[in-house]
Amino acid sequence: MPKERLPRHIAIIMDGNGRWANERHLPRHEGHRQGVERSREIMRACADLGIQFLTLYAFSKENWSRAKDEVSFLMKLLSNYLDVELREIHKTNIRFRMIGRLNDLPVDIQKKIRKGFEQTKENTGLTLLLALSYSSREEIVDAVKTIATEVKRGIISSDEINEKMVSDSLSTSGIPDPDLLIRTSGEFRLSNFLLWQLSYTEICILDKYWPDFTRNDLLQAIEIYGNRDRRFGRANELVAKVETHG
Ligand code: IPE
Ligand code: IPE
Ligand code: MG
């Protein structure tokens, strides 16, 4: 595929770990373990392809309401992942960032994340954004508060508030909106993920569970994306031409 048709930013809702395990009569934990392996593979594939930004939805704000032992297993898994993967991330010139409430996470994980962020901030390859304890509505509320404070202090007037200002007040500030959103395991919903940023994103819902998602599935989603006609509200150019000249 020509480089200009590649998505610049891919966002993924990595869903279906539990169902994958359930179908194999395994505990949900096993699905999460396999899921982490897939996320490693997909990150490398994106780096190899020259994708610039990859956002992985790893843990939502709402996921805290799962059973205690599932949540603590996920935190342990995340902690191990950061130990192993941050070294790999740095070695391969990947820039690491997170979006979501850092302070909700266990303190040891917070430290690892801060260290990873510092260590990799000058890297120039793929940027990996991990969404952890993330809620898009909460992120938007935070942005509203930031802007309201600036109005209150007289730095800007309320008439000056514009879309760019809102974008710049989100945790994804400076990062282009996703071009392609992939959700695995066949659910047709956004589950409080990047509600502002996905306004014009192409959505690709795949039936596979995340632990079965391979590099080939990624390539297939990119291919589907490449064949989409992104109109951003304009009329389809071919149809418009026929109507004017025909
Ligand atoms: C995604 O898989 C992982 C997280 C949300 C942490 P799920 O755990 O949601 O798996 P299903 O949807 O129950 O199959
Ligand atoms: C979305 O998956 C969150 C992540 C993939 C981390 P969920 O499994 O939590 O979403 P719902 O509950 O099916 O909407
Ligand atoms: Mg799920």
Query: What residues make up the domain containing 70?
Result: 3-134+176-245
Which helix (H) or strand (E) covers residue 23, if one does?
helix 17-23
Could you identify the atom of ligand 1 that is nearest to the CA of residue 28? 8
Bridge partners for 246 per DSSP: none
Whether 211 maps to a domain, the answer reads yes
Contacts of 23 (CB under 8 A, 6+ apart): none
Name the DSSP letter for residue 52: S
Whether 111 maps to a domain, the answer reads yes
Dihedral through CA 206, CA 209, CA 214, CA 215, nearest 10?
Answer: 40
pLDDT of 19 higher than 80: yes
Chain segment 116-143, per-residue pLDDT in tens: 999 999 999 999 999 999 999 999 999 9
* Confidence grade of residue 3 (pLDDT, cut at 50, 70, 90): confident
Whether 99 maps to a domain, the answer reads yes
Whether 145 maps to a domain, the answer reads no
- Choosing from 15, 17, 179, 217, the catalytic residue is 15
Whether 163 maps to a domain, the answer reads no
Dihedrals phi, psi of 54, to nearest 5 degrees: -130, 120
Number of Cα atoms under 13 Å in the Cβ half of residue 96? 20
Ligand nearest to the CA of 59: 2
CATH number at residue 32: 3.40.1180.10
Q: What is the model's pTM?
A: 0.96
* Confidence grade of residue 108 (pLDDT, cut at 50, 70, 90): very high
Chain segment 137-151, per-residue pLDDT in tens: 999 999 999 999 999
Chain segment 89-104, per-residue pLDDT in tens: 999 999 999 999 999 9
Ligand 3 centroid from CA 131, angstroms: 15
Instruction: State how many domains the chain has.
Output: 1
User: Other CB atoms closer than 10 Å to residue 206's CB: what's the count?
Assistant: 20
Chain segment 193-217, per-residue pLDDT in tens: 999 999 999 999 999 999 999 999 9
Mean pLDDT of the chain: 96
Contacts of 116 (CB under 8 A, 6+ apart): 82, 86, 89, 90, 96
17 part of the active site: no
Whether 81 maps to a domain, the answer reads yes
Residue in this structure with the two tokens 């993967």, named with its chain if needed: 85
User: Other CB atoms closer than 10 Å to residue 7's CB: what's the count?
Assistant: 24
